[in-house]
Structure 1
Amino acid sequence: MAPKATVYKITLQIADMDRGYYHDHQLTIAQHPSETDSRMMVRLLAFALNASETLEFSKGLCVEDEPELWQKTLSDEIELWVEFGQSDEKWLRKASGRAKQVQLFAYGGRAVPIWWQQNEKAFERYKNLKVWNIPEDEVKQMGELVSRNMQLQYNISDGEVWLSSDLGSVQINPEVLKSPH
């Protein structure tokens, strides 16, 4: 019998001084059996950095044709498509053609600079693509904050993120590898 997803109940309190966005979100998300705690926390970081009333998690890993996190208009157009890991150029080309904005949250420590060096030129042609690198130590520390019922506070200012919970806090310094043109 295949292992089932683990369900998490999460309260996010977001104070984003960079965007002037201050709001609480109640989320229920499923962690796929193959997903690590750290990766799930990168997904929550991406949500916090892009939070809005219409941003939502999709069916994600279970559906090939959708991003894991997206924002759609009332007419079902994709405004924001968010991917995670070290995606290939073909997948990002598809996303860039379907969405107004595409963001990729890369993580994986020393593998990221190698992957970036191999793909940077190809990614330049995508005018609506933003690529983030989340440092390995910070990804690991975020993973240590996981519990089944989480209350997370994200304070975002000058590109830095302070993530706090009852289990501790982490300062996150996401590096922007590529900004949209």
Structure 2
Amino acid sequence: MAIKPTIYKLRIALSDLERNYYDSLSLTVALHPSETVQRMMARVLAFCINAQDGLVFCKGLSDVEEPDMWIRTMDDKTTLWIEMGEPAVDRVKKATRLASKVKIYSFNTKSDVWWAQNESKFSQLGASVFRFDATQIDEFSQLLSRTMDISVTITGESAYIATAADELEVTWQTLKE
């Protein structure tokens, strides 16, 4: 018998000062049995950074043919493809052929090594690469509860996050635009 995902309900008051985008998001997020809480919270933050009409979580770890998030048009064209972690160069190359825009968000302590090994290969590809601060993502994941209200304010390369339990800042670095 397969282990089922753990479901989280997040209500997010989002203020993206960079894009003048303000929204109230009600997200149902599934934590895949093989996924870490840190990865899931990095997914949630990447969702907030890219929030817009049509953005949805995909099957991700459950389906290797889909990214973690995407935006698809009515005629099945992919306009945005978002990957989490440290994907293989071949996977990103394929994504750039399938989508108008590709973004990668790395989030753990292996990110530096992965980027050092692949930077020259990614320079050839039309994908944007960002790295979250791994310690801050870990702190964000410690605030998680099955149902929670979150306030996220994005400015520059920072997200100020407030929950009933605590407040913190998560920063990221643009490795390739």
Cross-structure match for 2:116: 117
Structure-to-structure mapping, 1:170-181, within 5 angstroms = 170-179=168-177
Cross-structure match for 2:103: 103
Structure 1 counterpart of 2:124, one-letter code = R
* 5+ residue gaps, structure 1: none
Structure 2 counterpart of 1:161, one-letter code = A
How far off its partner does 1:159 sit?
A: 2.1
Percent identical: 33
* 5+ residue gaps, structure 2: none
Cross-structure match for 1:42: 42
Cross-structure match for 2:76: 76
Cross-structure match for 1:91: 91
Structure 1 counterpart of 2:29, one-letter code = I
Distance in 2 between the 1:157 and 1:123 partners? 26
Q: Are 2:167 and 1:169 equivalent residues in the alignment? A: yes
Runs (4+) of structure 1 exceeding 4 A deviation are: none
Cross-structure match for 1:135: 133
Cross-structure match for 1:146: 144
Alignment partner of 1:174: what SS?
strand
Alignment partner of 2:79: what SS?
strand
Structure 2 counterpart of 1:138, one-letter code = Q
TM-score norm. by structure 1 comes to 0.94
Structure 2 counterpart of 1:147, one-letter code = S
Distance in 2 between the 1:74 and 1:116 partners? 35
